[in-house]
Amino acid sequence: MTVHTTPVEASLPTLDLSRFHASPDERQAFISELRSVLHDHGFFYLTSHGVDPKLIEDVVATAKRFFSLPLEEKLKIEMVKSPHFRGYNRAGQERTRGEQDWREQLDINTEDAPAEIGPDTPAWRRLQGPNQWPEALPELKPLLLAYQAEVTRIGIDVLKAIAVALGQPENVFADIYQPQPSQLLKIIRYPGRDVAETDQGVGAHKDGGFVTVLLQDTTPGLRVRTEDGVWIEAPPVPGTFVINTGELLELATNGFVRADVHDVIAPPAGVERFSVAFFLGSRPDATIPFIELPEDLKRAERGISVDPLNPIFREVGQNQLKSRLRSHPDVARAHYAELLASE
């Protein structure tokens, strides 16, 4: 598969999160800008997020050390060993729309004990459980859990700002993420095209949760597709995160908020790309609500975009399990064979 090339336009807007906590006038100006971005494409650079630069530096450096471990060390925590879809994937193991994604990665989520499973327990409950951590790099666990807590804080703060931009109370979404949201975190390495078999670092897709908080290292590759099919390049900008909205918000607002399609192009031969992606989601036992928007925003609702290859459900756990089963067919075969047989 070769990723199509389409004309690209200027980069994403930049929003300063400190303005949300500033004077009433400054806050209102920030909210107005955010509302426009949410409706246009849902992607922006975020500054003044308050994360310690040293923590960011340590996360990137330690992620690179993880990927430089011998393959046999990484395979000790291969995802196929986890019914909770936690652990390491070699490049080409994950799939988007059935096509291989050329990136290797380590997935963690909320650190927890496995759920007690009975005959009537919904299958998505099996996603709950512990992470897998590399014995050869013990410092990775406390570092990534500290980072996960920080980007969770950012994600919830951004979500509160989004609620206000939609004419709602700040905590309108709290009922479906408290007391514990989904906290999927990936450290990612994209090998160059001398290793990758196609241009697809990650295939074109939408994210499924509330918001994504993306840390990029130094190599570009992320692109965002607007509603009219124009691609916007989103190269790394030091000191920022890229924020984007997910399908949960598109569903909750009947399409007022965009959950735009995006992809990552594999880097050139001999070049690596590193990133850290955090996906803030709802509690898995929640149902996505309908948010009654003010009349002026309601008139701009576009309805939910429908992809017959990727149906979206209002039951959050069902969505989360569907996403994992589709993205990781090896894990699905190893731990969820009875679900695949019933399809």
Does some domain include residue 225?
yes
Phi, psi of 165 (to 5 degrees): -65, -25
Which residue range(s) make up the domain with 177?
A: 14-281
Task: Find, among 226, 267, 265, the residue nearest to 244 by Cα.
Answer: 226
- Residue 341 has a pLDDT of 72
Beta bridge partners of 278: 185, 213
Q: What is the mean pLDDT of residues 296-317?
A: 82
Asked if residue 143 is part of any domain, the answer here is: yes
Q: How many CB atoms lie within 10 A of CB 52?
A: 11
Instruction: Read off the pLDDT band of 243 (50, 70, 90).
Output: very high
Percent pLDDT > 70 in the chain is 95
Q: Is residue 306 situated within a structural domain?
A: no
Do the domain assignments include residue 64?
yes
For the domain that residue 247 is a member of, what is the CATH number? Answer: 2.60.120.330
Instruction: Burial-class residue 228 by CB neighbours within 10 Å (0-12, 13-18, 19+).
Output: exposed
Residue 324 belongs to a domain:
no
10 pLDDT more than 60: no
Q: Which two tokens stand for residue 155?
A: 């994600």
In Å, how far from its chain's centre is CA 230? 22
Residue entry with tokens 């936690």: 86
pLDDT of residue 235: 96
- Would you say residue 198 lies in a domain? yes
pLDDT tier, 5 (very low <50, low <70, confident <90, very high otherwise): very low
Please tell me the pTM assigned to this model. Answer: 0.94
Tens of pLDDT, residue by residue over 185-238, are: 999 999 999 888 889 999 999 999 999 999 999 999 999 998 788 899 999 999
Chain center to CA of 62: 20
What tens digit of pLDDT does each residue of 164-187 get? 999 999 999 999 999 999 999 999
Considering its fold, how many domains does the chain have in total? 1
In a domain, 317, yes or no: no
Is residue 266 a part of any domain in this protein?
A: yes
pLDDT over 50 at 42, yes or no: yes
User: Can you give the pLDDT at residue 7?
Assistant: 42
Indicate the pLDDT class of residue 51, thresholds 50, 70 and 90: very high
